[in-house]
Amino acid sequence: MDRKTASYLGLARKSGNLLTGTDTCTRAGRKGKIKLLIICEDTAEGSKKKMIKLAEDNNIPLRLYGSSEQLSHAAGYQSRYIFGITDANFADVITEQIDTNREVSQ
């Protein structure tokens, strides 16, 4: 994971625009509050499928990205696998950063 994505996740948390966990993100996603859903690549398959369905059903942009260890550390947590961004500007810039990283690494 690059430093910019890590910085944006940290800023999103500090500003109160980051949710974590399956249950929290599910509730917020159903209410239309999540602007970007990030699922760690090492998330259990059952949880991954549940969150992908949530994103599809509620038209939430979704990215499978990074490991739980990397993303949790960047956001200042331990052992989190699901991240919801609630601010549209943070969602846009993090999405752009993730997509740019994928293009560079390919």
Q: Would you state the pLDDT for residue 2?
A: 82
Give one DSSP letter per residue of 17-82, joined into a string.
-EEESHHHHHHHHHTT--SEEEE-TTS-HHHHHHHHHHHHHTT--EEE-S-HHHHHHHHT-SS--E
pTM of the model: 0.93
Q: Which domains does the chain have, with CATH numbers?
A: 3-105 (3.30.1330.30)
Q: Would you state the pLDDT for residue 57?
A: 97
The position carrying tokens 């399956």 is 22
Q: How confident is the model over 37-89, as pLDDT tens digits?
A: 999 999 999 999 999 999 999 999 999 999 999 999 999 999 999 999 999 99
Q: Would you state the pLDDT for residue 101?
A: 81
Residue 96 structure tokens: 């752009």
Q: Would you state the pLDDT for residue 1?
A: 73
Is the torsion defined by CA of 68, 69, 74, 76 positive or negative?
Answer: positive
- Is 90 exceeded by the pLDDT of residue 102? no
Helix/strand/coil for 1: coil
Residue-averaged pLDDT of the chain? 94
* Distance from C-alpha of 22 to C-alpha of 19, rounded to nearest angstrom: 9
pLDDT band with cut points at 50, 70 and 90 for residue 15: very high
